[in-house]
Amino acid sequence: MSAPNAAAMERLAAAEPVLVDVVPARAAFPEGDGMLLLHSGPPIAVADLPGCTRGAIAAIAIDEGWADSPEAALALLDAGDIALAPGHDRGVVAPVCGVVGPSSPVFVVRNEAADKVAYCPLNEGRGAVARYGVYEPRVLEQLRWLRTDLAPLLGRLLRSAGGLALVPLLSEALHMGDDLHNRTKAFTAALYRELSLRGTAAGLLPATTAPALEFVARSDVFGVAAVMAACKAMLLALEGVPGSSVVTTMAQNGHEFGIRVAGLPGRWFTAPAPRVEGVIQPPWKDDEAALGIGDSVITECVGFGGFATVGAPAIYRYIGGDIGRAREIAEAMYGITLAEDRRFAIPVIGYRGVASGIDAALVAAGEVTPIANAGMSHKDAGVGQIGAGYVVTPRQPFADAVAALEAAGRSAGRLAEEPSART
């Protein structure tokens, strides 16, 4: 392992993600941003937005009070009155269509080892929800409830607890059959347990809060937001390590797939978004599914999701796989990563640590690319989730990142040899 990559992996191994609060996403929106929405994936032009993302934009714009109908919201977007920016540029990650407004309630995770903070919007549950491009009245009411009822309660519980250290909960969930991407049932249960115990001890759980915590208990995917924010906070610590080819970001927007690497912070390398391979629920057809979309593939950068699905047999059929395929994927992912993080062990494969730290150079030099789990959205607005599966990521962004690192290294070498160039 090269010295730059060793330095980056030391930071990843030392990461201490702590769930500290739930707040409006304004923390990631500097004052004066106006009508700005953050989206999942690399930068995208309005003309290239898939229909499902347009639906999510409509839902969030209405929730923000910028419009009173989907048609009015999309008119603002098409006129250029609503601006868009990648959430990753501000430490925000969001699943699937992943639209975040200033008022959107977000989990706040701090990497205590590096003082890095990341955010992810609260999960609405499965199916016909805003993050899958649905904006019907029931969905809008759910967004309002999350913002006005659930988020303040969770914030109070987390602040009273002094935050929740997430490494023990993530480790426990892997032992209980989660992959921490498509399946977070055990992690959500652990989160509910800790919040309930600490809230009871602090006297913060009167009977009126029961519906809010019941939502957490019954929504088995609720915890994925905290997992995503934890992964982002961990990986933020790697950004800026000169020469490192460790992947700090993978993301999709339904049009392009993109990555970033530690040695070139903030720079995107992209290729057309891949298809989601998996199981589509009737009556939907393959050609109705959106291409790969969402920031949840950040979990694979740490070693969760598709890299750990071998330990989550309950979702094999859900994503269209089996134990043999899951073992093949797990073994292949060890070949393109730099370490096994033994804090996060997978019992079914002899308690091996998850395959952690994707090396863009290893991906570029071989035939194996990261395989990530994914939800499957209908490509049009207003429909919602139609299945689940996985994406085989394209190789080109990794090769382009390595070439850019090599060019940056040559440039730095020339500057070192020519002191006058720096005056």
d(CA 160, CA 209): 16
Whether residue 33 sits in one domain with residue 92: yes
pLDDT of residue 208: 66
Residue 299's nearest CA partner among 139, 124, 409, 181 is: 181
* Residue 171 forms part of a structural domain: yes
pLDDT digits (tens, 9 = 90+) for 309-323: 999 998 888 888 788
346/374 same-domain check: yes
Are 153 and 253 part of one and the same domain?
Answer: no
| pLDDT tens string 4-24 | 999 999 999 999 999 999 999
Q: Are residues 216 and 324 in the same domain?
A: no
> Cα–Cα distance between 107 and 99 in angstroms, integer?
15
* CATH number, domain with residue 263: 3.90.1700.10
Mean local confidence (pLDDT), 167-180: 96
Question: Of residues 4 and 30, which shows the higher confidence score?
Answer: 4
**How does residue 415 score in pLDDT terms, banded at 50, 70 and 90?**
low
Between CA 246 and CA 234 the distance in angstroms is 13
Rounded percentage of the chain residues whose pLDDT exceeds 90: 79
- Residues of the chain above pLDDT 70, percent: 96
Q: What's residue 421's pLDDT?
A: 39
Residues 315 and 363 in one domain: yes
Determine contact, residues 347/156, Cβ cutoff 8 Å. no
What's the whole-model pTM score?
0.94
For residue 205, the domain's CATH number is 3.90.1710.10
Domain residues for the domain of 89 are 3-229
Q: In 285-418, where does DSSP find H-type helix?
A: 298-302, 316-319, 323-334, 360-365, 396-417
The residue among 170, 262, 234 whose CA lies nearest residue 13 is 234
Within a domain: 173: yes
Looking from the CA of 34 toward its CB, the CA atoms found within 13 Å total 8
Average pLDDT value for the chain: 92
103 within some domain: yes
- Domain end, chosen from 173, 199, 229, is at 229
Claim to verify: residue 261 and residue 404 sit in the same structural domain: yes
Indicate whether 217 belongs to any domain.
Answer: yes
173 and 214 housed in the same domain:
yes
**C-alpha 136: how far from its chain's center?**
25
Most confident of 107-121, 272-286, 371-385: 107-121
State whether 225 and 245 are in the same domain. Answer: no
- Other C-beta atoms within 10 Å of 10: how many? 13
Using the 3D structure, point to which of 177, 207, 229 is the last residue of a domain. 229
Average pLDDT value for residue range 367-384: 92
Q: Give pLDDT tens digits for 195-212.
A: 888 888 777 777 667 777
How do residues 238-293 score in pLDDT, each as one tens digit?
A: 999 999 999 999 999 999 999 999 999 999 999 999 999 989 999 999 899 999 99
Q: Which of 288, 20, 3, 281 is nearest to 157 (CA)?
A: 20
What's the CA gap between 97 and 77, in Å, rounded? 15
Residue 354, φ and ψ in degrees, nearest 5? -60, 150
Summarize the chain as % helix, strand, coil (round to 5). Answer: 45, 20, 30
Contacts of 112 (CB under 8 A, 6+ apart): 16, 17, 18
Name residues whose C-beta falls within 8 Å of residue 422's C-beta, 6 or more positions apart in sequence: 415
Tell whether the model's pLDDT for residue 338 goes beyond 60.
yes
Residue 180 inside a domain? The answer is yes
Residue 423 CA to residue 409 CA, distance in Å, equals 20
Binning pLDDT at 50, 70 and 90, where does residue 78 land? Answer: very high
Residue 421 lies in a domain: no
Does 175 share its domain with 270? no
Note whether 246 and 325 are same-domain residues: yes
Lowest average pLDDT, out of 106-120, 181-195, 208-222, 318-332, goes to 208-222
Q: Based on the domain organization, do 342 and 211 belong to the same domain?
A: no
Residue 128 lies in a domain: yes
Beta bridge partners of 260: 249
Q: Report the number of distinct structural domains present in the chain.
A: 2
**Which one-letter amino acid corresponds to residue 240?**
G
- Residue that finishes a domain, picked among 172, 206, 229: 229
> Residue 423 pLDDT > 60, yes or no?
no
Q: What is the pLDDT of residue 315?
A: 87
Sheet holding 17-24, edge to edge: 116-121, 105-111, 17-24, 164-165
User: Is 75 within the bounds of a domain?
Assistant: yes
Q: What is the mean pLDDT of residues 358-362?
A: 98
| 360 in the same domain as 250 | yes
